[in-house]
Chains A and B, each alone.
Chain A
Amino acid sequence: MSDVAFYDFVRGPFLKFALFVFFVGIAYRFFRVIFLGMPPDYAKPKGSPPFMALKKIIIKPTMGWTFNEIFSRRAINFIGGFLFHLGFLGLTFFVPAHALLWKEITGIPFPTLPNIVSDVLAYAALGSLIALTIHRALNPVLKLLTGKDEYFANLLIALIIFTGLLATRWAGGGSYIWLVSLHLFLANLLIIYIPFSRLSHFVYYFLSVGFMGWNAGKRGVSF
């Protein structure tokens, strides 16, 4: 297969297939949990559960930061996790090359980040990911909790960011198209992998934090 044919394949049918698996998989996982149902709750709420659910969905990830002693012990998790998510989501949608692709797929124009910001985000995300992975391998609690899933996901994402950086910054001449294709290929693998792994936590975030906020509203606590 020629380089251009491979590029066309990963950017065309393979990407479409990956997105199809992603949406079907995520919808399945989301609705499977929704359809399990809930028992009714007759206890009179003390506050406003819907308001708190919404509020927590917006601010929950920063709530842990307020526990000083937890923050100081786990700064790497909080700062690394924050930088990684910021970088990963920022890069996925708003890097000029990606924004173009999303516009092609969705028809909606995406705003683009200046190159320098994309670069900073990419290095921040890659650096945090490496730091988080090392932390995961060394911390006794994380060692106990971690399975193969986490390492595979981290490796895959690190490779994607790395090949993306290589393609846009360092590759010259003939290797460019291969690197972009490899980058796209790995990204497709990731998109397919998300519904089968803990990476789908972004869907459950809304449910689990929503419930937590709902309960906080029911109990009349503000935190």
Chain B
Amino acid sequence: MAVVFSKERVGHEEVEKFYQFCKNSINTEVASYLEACVRCGICAEACLFYMGENVSGRIDPTLTPAYKADLLREIYKENYTLLGRLKKLFGFGLKIEPEDLKEQVRLAFYTCTNCDRCTKACPMGIDTPKLVSIVRGALTYAGLTPKDLADATNMSVEKGSPLGVDTQTFLQRIEFISEEYEVEIPVDKKPSEYLYILSSIELMKFPASVASAAKVLNRAEVNWTVSSLAHEATNFGVFAQSKEVTKEMLRRIVEGARELGIRYIIAPECGHAYQSVRFIAPNVFPEEWTFEVLNIVEFIDKMIKEGKLKINKKVLKERATLHDSCQIGRRGGVLREPRRIMNMVSEDFRDSVLIPEHNICCGGGGGVLVIGDADYYRQKAFISKMTLFDKAKAKTVVCYCANCMLALTKSSQELKRDYRFVSIVELVAEATGEE
């Protein structure tokens, strides 16, 4: 029951589909970005992939964000501008070869994590992630999603999670975590005010993180639950830019949450999950989406402010810095909250950036982590990231996204570094414990 495809052969049919998708994705915002580029190339210096290559002494100009949207720009021009249309009319139109689409796969899927740092540096404010997302959508529409990503995406539709966690596995795992960490985790409790949706990365790879979130929710004494239907917060439809998959994954959340009479949805430590439930879902289900969405970090900060959670001790003794999740932070607005928490739980917290929005991505966002062919780029990107850890002289790095933790841990091991990555929720769970 594959929903997205990963074709080996690329022919003219795929080119045509790619072209049509790009053409139909143009609106005022997209056109403004495409028209506004002045070819200054400053975005290259903001891109972690370009920077990583550069530090290694190799300059790869094709990693420039502006270049990643160039084919889309050409398609826009010949369909929407007078000169472009004239050119096309007289036979000087764009000729896209199947090889060009393979290059687009590299540019859009391997070397862009939609981290948004280029947008902040761009003097014209061009939202390259938005443009790259359109290219991704067009490639997926043409059946050219990278294999690893396509498999994980299809798995999530079929089983309920990209890691293959179905409802039964979910319930077993929750029971295991509940017993192992001695924490109460209510399942399908009706009615509940708060619904905590996990990501399967946490569930399978960072169970301590799930237990910590449960402890924090219990200590805040809110009426909460997890749902056996809405049990997966990750949405690989967003990575593959498949509207169909995005909608299907969100549908499960809407149905699960409505069934339990939920008011607040708490998104886990997962970047794009927060992005999808906070900013995408209301547009996919404009009528049904009546919930307020908080990220777990936002929730903790709110509970501390309201006096419902009390930090009793500083649990992190050594020098520590913070790694921001792009989709929760720079693109989600949760940047000050984790810093406030860090100052409360850490004795020696040093930020690696002056302005939180400047932080560098882990290199594995946007689905790059699951794509094996992108490993080289992810490791290069980690080199850019390392410069910030080293600037803060920190070996302990606190994260608030499980995907970031996984990507950073993997890259760190591959490059034989000894950084330690810790979840902020785990720290809070420890710090709110008895004195």
User: Counting CB contacts under 8 A, is B122 at the interface?
Assistant: yes
Cβ of B127 and Cβ of A211 under 8 Å apart? yes
Q: Is A119 an interface residue (CB 8 A)?
A: no
User: Which of the residues A44, A56, A74 comes within 8 Å of B42, measured between beta carbons?
Assistant: A74
Residue on A nearest B283 in the bound complex, by CB: A42
Residue from B37, B42, B59, B61 in contact with A70 in the complex, judged by beta carbons closer than 8 Å: B42
Q: Which size bracket describes the interface of A in this complex? A: 35 or more
**Residues in chain B near residue A67, CB distance under 8 A:** 45-46, 120-121, 358
Secondary structure at the A interface, as helix, strand, loop or mixed, is: helix
- Structural contact, A140 and B59, CB atoms closer than 8 A: yes
| Per-position binary interface string of chain A over residues 57-90, scored 1 when its CB falls under 8 Å from any chain B CB and 0 otherwise | 0001101101101100110011001000000000
CA distance A61 to B40 in the complex (A): 12
Q: How far apart are the CA atoms of A21 and B329 in the complex, in Å?
A: 45
B123 within 8 A of A: yes
User: How many whole Å from B92's CB to the nearest CB in chain A?
Assistant: 15
One of A44, A145, A209 near B41 (C-beta < 8 A):
A145
Cβ–Cβ contact B26 & A64, under 8 A: no
Minimal beta-carbon separation of A191 from chain B (angstroms): 18
B282 and A81 within 8 A (CB): no
| B residues near A46, Cβ cutoff 8 Å | 333
Q: Of the listed stretches B62-70, B169-177, B203-211, name the one at the interface; the rest are far from the partner chain.
A: B62-70
On whether the beta carbons of A42 and B333 are closer than 8 Å, the reply is no
Residues facing A in B116-156 (CB within 8 A) are 119-127
Docked Cα-Cα span, A219 to B357, in Å, equals 12
- Among the 9-residue stretches A31-39, A97-105, A163-171, the one with 4 or more Cβ atoms under 8 Å from chain B is A31-39
Contact yes or no, B35 A33, CB < 8 A: yes
Q: Given A37, A43, A200, A212, which contacts B282 in the complex, CB threshold below 8 Å?
A: A43
Contact B45 A223 (CB under 8 A): no
Q: Total A-B pairs in contact (CB under 8 Å)?
A: 160
Say whether chain B's binding surface is mostly helix, strand, loop, or mixed.
helix
Contact partners of B62 in chain A: CB under 8 A: 144
Partner of A209, one of B28, B50, B125: B125
Q: A33-B35, A70-B45, A201-B38 are in contact. Are A209 and B124 (CB under 8 A)?
A: yes
Other-chain residue from A29, A69, A218 in contact with B35 (beta carbon distance below 8 A): A29
Taking a contact as CB atoms under 8 Å apart, the answer to whether A144 and B61 are in contact is yes
Rounded to whole angstroms, the CA-CA distance of A33 and B29 in the bound complex is 8
Among A39, A143, A205, A223, the residue within 8 A (CB) of B36 is A205
Asked if B91 CB lies within 8 Å of chain A CBs, one says no
Chain A positions within 8 Å of B29 at CB level: 38, 211
Contact indicator B127/A64 (Cβ below 8 Å): no
Of the listed residues B42, B64, B278, the one surrounded by the most CB atoms of chain A closer than 10 A to its CB is B42
Selected A-B contacts with CB under 8 Å, 20 pairs? A33-B35, A36-B28, A38-B27, A40-B286, A43-B280, A77-B42, A140-B59, A141-B59, A144-B67, A145-B39, A201-B38, A204-B35, A204-B36, A205-B124, A209-B36, A219-B279, A219-B332, A220-B333, A221-B329, A221-B330
